[in-house]
Structure 1
């Protein structure tokens, strides 16, 4: 991956070049996600031990969030292109606030389902809207850096929130859970304030260029593009192997096969956060100017290694070696995450025409949500039948398929989309790389005219 001579700007240079809108958006990420961290690790515990909902039903209700998100993602992406990313993000964030308030006082499965409907709506709409807003604010290498730094800050906020929530929440005092869910709702006031205040002029919408043939905006037309299909399959497979296993496959394997105590699993998740926060900036510097598809290949290798290490703990269940293997799994997995998060979103948004960015991000979000739905189902079925070895083999083979898919994508995208700056005279690059969003260049902003050269779930 040494073919690129593109300069690798540090974090200070990135921040200096970032438009003021981007600084606002990035500087508040950890605060916004702190509230999410308060509740994310404890929602199932809250439903089961505080509200008396069975684990089976609680799990089904949790899956309901992803189902709602999948249903609304398509319309959400289309509306993002039509009315603007800022308005859709406002709507999604307001839905999250309402959902958290309802959940804070929910006592029956029906009210929990109502709360999760609002949360699912937020997850389905906010992904394409947020990514489109970031892509409107930033361009070029800064866009990849933004996505990576944002991911590190999200993990920092969630990690700190999880620590505070774990120290404060008490299943014997239901009011403590009401407080943390209300705190999660209150944290949504931060992005709402930003979108109504400093970012009120950044609508994140672009008109279809005059004389453009095709690109009418239908999802059918978008998915007819072979590149979109390949990157969507790659996104789905990466989610299925990775995030789709985090809430079900990994903890179930660690408990049933590795036979480690819950404390070790908790420390493993904490280690995951520490690795991401500690290494994301260094990784961004290292991969800047590299082919994104090659970065994804390295990520797949790290994840395959992580699953092999976890699988090996089955040979020494309940021992210190098993505990060490569980911790090592999350260290390798987290390092892979630092490679994944800056690449696929950047490929998607550099590939998408400005006026269709919401839909392109919706397709990517749909693939992600599909992986998070199927992953736990497959993990539960295989591990419940005692197929732990087959489970690990399946995931390692899937990582190998990701390598092949990354190679296929590499042959079909332009150097610009793949993270290598093309020559200024390159016609092909100009065709493949959408220019910085004209929707911002033509409008006032909090800092005057928006610069084109900078940018960001």
Structure 2
């Protein structure tokens, strides 16, 4: 990695570390420590998603017009203000307003950082850059959550103020780190800065890109079937049907993070150089197995140890799939985007993710509340198989560079000798490169 990319990754890791101090305890903080009730805590959690859905449709265009750096810095300031506001707020309106500020700031940071990583990498190095970001995010969240658990005390609200102050400080550290980044004067994506108003385009251009639309549909199903179920349907199934304790559920979540941290770069070695669409399709099959194992855990009677092991294995399999997606999906979004619309494509995919994270817990929670656990497992097995089918279908629309940039970059060039047909066409105009490919700067 170059110096700019190293600084971006370090700031992002510290931000995730600070975020880990508060994420596991937010519901308890609002409902019990501030004594605002479970309903207010639910509204606060929903506010994060609503704030993201409000700002993301406009974020991409601002990134493409102004550059990712000022947008990322503005996001870190907003997130820092929202975080410390949560720590100091004691009334329902103040808590909700602070949550909205924090949610909007984090939502803006994500596509801006992704665009900065794209600018500082090439198609051949992009998978490793995004895999490193995902690894550091999970490592930071895990360490932050561990230390936050040691510092927190529900009997003393001041301990939570301390946690939110740490999170706020880490967002400012992220802002300071990226403020000193010197982005390439010539970004490593073709035509990264629009030269005229007509080149800036809009949502119509993105919606006309069939490969990107298919990737967004695929992304919605992926986030719905995995991340959208961690804190709702899957947790309820594990506790109510498999009969594991909440403490054991924490162990399962830790197993998910441990698999990501331990296996990320081993997995990266295995998937680098392979077709991205095939890797995503394989993730769908792995998650199918995960949901089958989860369903089987509810059928195991007389051996609680086996049922518990099955649930922990489910979370571990999800972690393996996540480790395979991190060097695959985000770089694919960047490589599908025309150079002048990288920010908009990143923001659009982040918007799809937020929609899935809003719908997933709602559907999972409603089905769990109604006791529809068999239908719930069957639905998610179907979603996982759908991931495989959608990925294979999307792969037919990708160019070789988009689907396998490492192989395309290292493939030997063949220069055939002139043929009569070629000589006859010598005066014909040269075809333009296919839209959506990303090339390195000369």
Deviation at 1:361, TM superposition (A): 0.8
CA distance in 1, matches of 2:326, 2:129: 10
Q: Is residue 324 of structure 1 aligned with residue 309 of structure 2?
A: yes
CA distance in 2, matches of 1:161, 1:357: 31
Q: Is residue 382 of structure 1 aligned with residue 386 of structure 2?
A: no
Deviation at 1:243, TM superposition (A): 0.8
User: What does residue 291 of structure 1 align with?
Assistant: 275
Equivalent residue for 2:257, pick from 261, 273, 287: 273
| Cα separation, partners in 2 of 1:202 and 1:22, compared to 1, 3 Å | farther
Deviation at 1:202, TM superposition (A): 7.1
Q: Is residue 263 of structure 1 aligned with residue 247 of structure 2?
A: yes
Deviation at 1:200, TM superposition (A): 6.9
Q: Which is bigger in relative contact order (C-alpha 8 A, separation at least 6)?
A: 1
User: What does residue 426 of structure 2 align with?
Assistant: none
Equivalent residue for 1:414, pick from 399, 404, 418: 399
User: What does residue 229 of structure 1 align with?
Assistant: 213
CA distance in 2, matches of 1:131, 1:203: 17
After TM superposition, the score normalised by the length of structure 1 is 0.87
After TM superposition, the score normalised by the length of structure 2 is 0.90
Contact in 2 for aligned 1:382/1:388 (Cα 8 Å): yes
User: What does residue 290 of structure 2 align with?
Assistant: 306
Contact in 2 for aligned 1:416/1:429 (Cα 8 Å): no
User: What does residue 315 of structure 1 align with?
Assistant: 299
User: What does residue 100 of structure 1 align with?
Assistant: 83
Deviation at 1:28, TM superposition (A): 3.9
Q: Is residue 220 of structure 1 aligned with residue 209 of structure 2?
A: no
Q: Deviations over 1:20-52 (max 9, x none)?
A: 111222234332211111111110011111011
Equivalent residue for 1:117, pick from 97, 100, 108: 100
User: What does residue 157 of structure 1 align with?
Assistant: 140
Q: Is residue 185 of structure 1 aligned with residue 174 of structure 2?
A: no
Please identify the structure whose Cα radius of gyration is greater. Answer: 2
Deviation at 1:316, TM superposition (A): 3.3
CA distance in 2, matches of 1:368, 1:425: 38
Aligned positions of 1:54-93 closer than 5 A: 54-93=37-76
| Cα separation, partners in 2 of 1:52 and 1:316, compared to 1, 3 Å | farther
Equivalent residue for 1:33, pick from 16, 40, 46: 16
Deviation at 1:270, TM superposition (A): 1.0
Deviation at 1:408, TM superposition (A): 1.2
Q: Deviations over 1:315-368 (max 9, x none)?
A: 237922221112111110100000112111111101111110011111111110
Deviation at 1:153, TM superposition (A): 0.9
Contact in 1 for aligned 2:77/2:171 (Cα 8 Å): yes
CA RMSD of aligned residues (A): 2.1
User: What does residue 438 of structure 2 align with?
Assistant: 434
> How many correspondences in the alignment?
419
CA distance in 2, matches of 1:281, 1:43: 31
CA distance in 1, matches of 2:54, 2:204: 16
Contact in 1 for aligned 2:200/2:340 (Cα 8 Å): no
| Cα separation, partners in 2 of 1:147 and 1:429, compared to 1, 3 Å | farther
Deviation at 1:429, TM superposition (A): 6.6
Partner-residue secondary structure (3-state), 1:170: coil
CA distance in 1, matches of 2:318, 2:110: 22
CA distance in 2, matches of 1:69, 1:28: 21
- Provide structure 1 residue ranges, at least 5 long, that are not aligned to the other structure: 1-17, 439-451, 453-457
CA distance in 1, matches of 2:351, 2:183: 28
Partner-residue secondary structure (3-state), 2:35: coil
Q: Is residue 207 of structure 1 aligned with residue 193 of structure 2?
A: yes
| Cα separation, partners in 2 of 1:394 and 1:202, compared to 1, 3 Å | farther
Deviation at 1:424, TM superposition (A): 7.5
| Cα separation, partners in 2 of 1:202 and 1:208, compared to 1, 3 Å | closer
